Amino acid sequence: MALVLPNSLSSVLTAPVAILGGGVSGRGVQQLLAALGGTGAVYDAAGIEFTPQTAAQHRLLVFSPGFPPEHPWLALARQAGLDCWTELDFAGQFWRGRLLAITGTNGKTTLTEFLVHALAIAGSEAHATGNIGHSFSQLVAELQGGREEALAVCEVSSFQAEPLRAFHPEATLWTNFAEDHLERHGSLASYFAAKAVLLDRSAAVFAGPSVRAYAAQLGFPASSRIRWVDAAAEPDPGLAGTVFAQPPQRENFSLAAAWWKAAGFRVDQLYEAAHTFRLGRHRLGLAGVVHEVGYWNDSKATNFHAVEAALSRFASPVWLIAGGKSKGGDVAGFVRRIAPRVKELFLIGDTAEEVADAAAAVGLACQICPHLKDAVHAAALAARPGDQVLLSPGFASFDQFRNYQDRGDQFEAIVRELAAAVPLSS
């Protein structure tokens, strides 16, 4: 099976393609171009800059989600007459199979992975792609465009959704909506509108209750294509013992089930999948128990909503390690909401002082720690048998770590060191 070049791109691919961004998306575009027999030139702030002189060498530009629509390099490309595509739009031109989009403030990775797992149990070919760390371009290149019956389950961030123009999933599942990425979008309304771009490009939409609430609050126009999905108020016996037994994962299962039934799959297979599905790492997992104190890794919690969801899972207040690179938002409101569920805050990263000021305003004890290891050790000294220490940062990781995985890996390594050490003095 070979990749088929659409007529719309045949002429512009005769020249090298300009690629903005050398990360996961950019590398995927390079791989796809190689499979097409084409070439590309990567431009990145850490490498070669995009200039009027380099723009003249290209006819097509593909940009990564790290480049906002108003980025000066994109403005330059448009002025030079280049055809500008997002990575998802570009890859989508070569995908033969079906396409399902997953978006939301939180839970989209879990829902993506769960649906791929469930579809495999149902005997269908499905592939996780997009913002999950495996770009759509890379998938298309690896599968040579894919088979018609294959389903790409594509996690789509607001950064990816905002500039879309030719990405058309058969359905979009929108898990939830909460304050996040205001450092880029500027306001909740703009953040909502960025994700809502997917709604205009999807034949059907399944959305959770918080999306409905914000849609009403922001005056978003109603659409008959949107099916609002609420999680059952009472526990589902069929989910007992699974990660979906309790909120917030119960909402993810309800959303999956709504699409699953509409797509004509057997419901018993979805429940079977729920019982064999395991959450990915860095998502509220127990990293270890040291001196009868539990240490929990929730490094993927990079926004306030995710931290609050994690705290709701504990029966009593925890020792919370938080902080990192700011993504905007109401820090004071966040601290005020979590204060009743936190014994003390151990703060790291760029936002430590700002969060500490908010904690002082509500009488919540806190310590500012230079590094994650200092925070873990401070929490270990404070904790007593039966207590829980939770890493749930609420902010991005890029101030002190390569990514949230690196942050979580370092946390788990520190916990292992604690377990191997001499018992801490009180």
Give the CATH H-level superfamily of domain 285-420.
Mur ligase, C-terminal domain (3.90.190.20)
Residues 6+ positions from 3 with CB-CB distance below 8 Å: 35, 36, 94, 140, 141, 144, 145
Please give the order of strands across the beta sheet that includes 17-20: 40-43, 17-20, 60-63, 83-86
- Given the DSSP bridges, would you call strands 285-290 and 293-297 parallel, antiparallel or unpaired? antiparallel
Q: What integer pLDDT is reported at residue 426 of this predicted model?
A: 45
Q: What integer pLDDT is reported at residue 8 of this predicted model?
A: 73
Q: What integer pLDDT is reported at residue 1 of this predicted model?
A: 63
Q: What integer pLDDT is reported at residue 95 of this predicted model?
A: 96
Listed as ranges, residues in the chain with pLDDT below 50 are: 424, 426
| C-alpha closest to that of 163 among 78, 99, 290, 226 | 78
CATH classification (class only), 94-276:
alpha beta
Q: How far apart are CA 342 and CA 306, in angstroms?
A: 15
Q: What integer pLDDT is reported at residue 422 of this predicted model?
A: 55
Q: What integer pLDDT is reported at residue 13 of this predicted model?
A: 80
Residues 6+ positions from 193 with CB-CB distance below 8 Å: none
Q: Where are the domains of the chain?
A: 14-89, 94-276, 285-420
Q: What integer pLDDT is reported at residue 224 of this predicted model?
A: 79
Give the CATH H-level superfamily of domain 14-89.
NAD(P)-binding Rossmann-like Domain (3.40.50.720)
pTM of the model: 0.89
pLDDT digit string (tens) for 388-412? 999 999 999 999 999 999 999 999 9
Q: What integer pLDDT is reported at residue 421 of this predicted model?
A: 82
